[in-house]
Homo-oligomer: A and B are copies of this chain.
C-alpha cells in the first residue's frame, strides 16, 4: 500500500516536473543499469565478488545499528568530526551499493537520511575552523582536497539511488548540497579547480562527475577544458602535464596511487557519457599506462616503493588500485595478468568492471602479474630521468633493485637523486625511509607531515645515495630541484647481465654524480650478484663524499674485528639530516678483502667493498638524535666516506646466500662464494672491477666520459 502511494506520488510529480535534466538512466557510473541483474547474481556465484560485497555489507550493517550523525565540522585530520565525515561518505556510497544489490529498503533509507542531513546543514557551515593559512580550505574538512573526495564519493552514491527519490527530495538535495558544493569548489576555489596538481584533479573530478549525474553541461565542460574553457587547465591538460608518456607521476608511487582515483573515476564516467571523447585512448592509452606503472613501482609483497613522501604500508590493496585494476581490465585492455594482480588484491569493486574481473578469474583466465625489469621514464616528454627496476626470480622470493633519478616531485619530492633500494626474499633489504609522518595520528602533529620530514626524511643523507660535503642536493631547495632535471638514466639487458646507469650534473654545484648498478646471474648461485659503482666528480676538491646504506636486519660479520666500544655517542654531523644520526663507530677500510655481512629475514647479504685511494672509512650509524618527541623510527645504516678529493669512486659487490629455517633450526648454503673483489683505474676513463666466484674469474669495465659513468661492459678477467 505504501509503495502504491509512493508510486502515485512519483507519477504525479513526474507530470508536474518533467525530468528534462536526466539524459541517461541511473545508475550510470561504475555500475550501469544494464549490468545490475548480472551483478546481483554475481555476488552469489563469483567468490571474489561475493567476499568483496560481504565486506561492504558487513560494514554497512554494523553502521546501520547506529544513527545518522552529521556534526558541524570542527576537528583536523584524525579527529572526531573528520573521521565521522569520512565514514559518512563511505557509508553513503556503500549503502547505496547495498541497496542496488539487495534492493532492501533499509539501505536506501539510510542513504536518503544522510543526504538529507547534509542538505539540511551544508549551506550553514562556514570555512572549516581548522583550516591552515596558505592551504586551500574546505567546509566539511580542514582542507579543500577532502571536501572534493567527499563529493566524488557522494555523487556516486547519489547516482545509485536518485531514481528512487521523489522530485522534491531530489531538488532539495541538489539545490542545498550539490549545487552550493560545486559552487564552492569551482568558483570560490577556482585556483584549486584550475591547478595542474592532484588536488586540482580531485576538484575537477568532483565537479565533473556531479555535472554528469545532474546533467549540468557547463560543469562538465569546465572540468574537461578548464574554467575558462580554453584547454589551458582542466582534465585533458592534467592528463597532458601530470604524467610522463610512460604514465609516471612525478610525486612518486604513493601519490600516484592517490592521484589516479579521480582520473580513473572521471575518465570512466566520460567513457560512459561522452564516448566520443575516447578518453581511454587519450595520449596513447595514458591512463592504462599510468595504472600499469603504479603496479610496476611496487614490490611483490604488495607494498609500493616508498619514494618521495610516502606512507610505507601503502600497498596494491588500496581501494584506488583495486578500482584502477578493474577499470583497466574491464574497459581498456583485458590482460590476464591483471587478473593475477586482482587476486593479490583479494578484492574487486562492486561495479561492472569488478564483475568482469571476478567472472574471468572464476573462469580460470588469470595469470600471475607480470613484474618487469623496466625503465619508467619521467617528464612530460619522457626525457627527464626516470626509475630503473631490475627484477629476478620467482615472485615470492624476488630480487628487486630500484634506481631513482627522476624530476623532483614538487612539494612531496625528496632530494634523493641516484638513490637505490633493494628488496629480496619478500622484504626490504636496503630501504628508503619514506615520509616522516604518522598519518591520522592526531598526537603526532595532527597526523600531518612532521617537522622531521623536512629535517630528516627529505634530506639527501636519509637516502642510499651520494652526499657531498654533508649538504643535501640543491641545498634542499625545492625550486632549484624542480628547475634542473636529471642528466640521464638508462637500462640494458644483455644475457646474464642487466645494468642501469644514471647521472646528474645539477644537484651539487660544479659536480657530476653518476651511478651504475649491475646484476649478474651466475650458474650455481641462487641469486644474481649486484655491483654498485658510484662516482662523484667535482671541479674542485670535495670536503667529504658519503654513501649510506640503510639496512634491515643485523650485522653478523665484518672484516674489521675487535672494534672499540663507544662509551658516549655523538651525532654524525650538525645539519642537513646529519644531526639526527648517532655515530656508533668508525673504521678505515684496509687495502683488500673488506666486507660486511647482514642477516636479514633468514638470508645473508654480504657486501664486499673494493676501495682504492683515497682512503675510505666506514661509519656505523643509527637514527634518533635530536628527536625529543621520539618521532623518528628505529633505523640503522653504515656510511662509506671519502674526503678531500675531486673524484670519489665507491664500488660494492653484494652477494646473497644462505637459507635459514627457523622452525627446523637448520641452515643451508651458509658459505659466501665471492672472493678477491678488486677495483683498478687504469685511466681516468676506466674503472675495472674483478672478482672470483668459486674458481672462475669475472671482470667488468665501467667507462667514464665527461667525468660520468657512461657504459658497462665485461672484460677478460
Contacts and interface: CB of A to CB of B under 8 A. Distances in A.
Contact of A80 (B79, B86, B671): B671
Contacts of A231: none
B562 A628 contact: yes
Of A79, A570, A584, A636, most B-chain CB atoms within 10 Å: A584
Interface string A576-589: 00000010110000
Of A319, A438, A620, A663, most B-chain CB atoms within 10 Å: A663
A634 B636 contact: yes
Interface in A79-107: 79-80, 83, 86-87, 90
A79 B670 CA distance: 8
A525 interface: no
A36 interface: no
Given A319-B663, A555-B630, A624 B668 contact: no
Interface in A548-576: 554-557, 562-571
A131 interface: no
Contacts of A565: 625-628
A317 to B, nearest CB: 5
Given A83-B670, A568-B570, A584-B624, A563 B663 contact: no
A695 interface: no
A585 B319 contact: no
Interface in A428-476: 438-444
B78 A667 contact: yes
Given A567-B626, A628-B563, A663 B318 contact: yes
Contacts of A318: 663-665
A622 interface: yes
A599 interface: yes
A703 interface: no
A76 B668 CA distance: 15
A406 interface: no
A666 B440 contact: yes
A663 B570 contact: no
Contact of A441 (B86, B599, B664): B599
A295 to B, nearest CB: 16
Contacts of A569: 568-570, 582, 625
B440 A585 contact: no
A556 B78 contact: no
Interface in A655-678: 660, 662-668, 670-671
A448 to B, nearest CB: 14
Contacts of A660: 440
Interface residues of A, number: 62
Copy count, this protein chain: 2
Nearest to A319: B664
Contacts of A438: 554, 556, 599
A210 interface: no
A289 interface: no
Contacts of A599: 438, 441
A349 B692 CA distance: 44
A625 B330 CA distance: 57
A514 interface: no
Interface in A280-337: 311, 313-315, 317-319
Contacts of A664: 318-319
A567 B575 CA distance: 12
Nearest to A555: B630
A629 interface: yes
A444 B604 CA distance: 13
A442 B670 contact: yes
A633 interface: yes
A556 B319 contact: no
Given A567-B626, A625-B566, A556 B443 contact: yes
Contacts of A633: 554
Contacts of A319: 663-664
Contacts of A634: 622, 634, 636
Of A86, A87, A630, most B-chain CB atoms within 10 Å: A630
B666 A87 contact: yes
A201 interface: no
A628 B555 CA distance: 11
A663 B315 contact: yes
A292 to B, nearest CB: 21
A597 interface: yes
A554 B622 contact: no
Q: Give the 7 A-B CB pairs with smallest separation, nearest first.
A: A443-B557, A569-B569, A313-B662, A563-B628, A555-B630, A565-B628, A565-B626
27 contacts: A80-B670, A83-B666, A83-B668, A87-B668, A311-B665, A314-B662, A314-B663, A317-B663, A318-B663, A318-B665, A319-B664, A438-B554, A439-B665, A440-B665, A440-B670, A443-B597, A564-B628, A565-B627, A566-B625, A567-B570, A567-B571, A568-B568, A569-B569, A569-B570, A584-B624, A584-B630, A634-B636
Given A440-B667, A565-B628, A567-B570, 4 more contacts: A440-B670, A554-B630, A569-B570, A569-B625
Interface of A: 78-80, 83, 86-87, 90, 311, 313-315, 317-319, 438-444, 554-557, 562-571, 582, 584-585, 597, 599, 620, 622, 624-630, 633-634, 636, 660, 662-668, 670-671
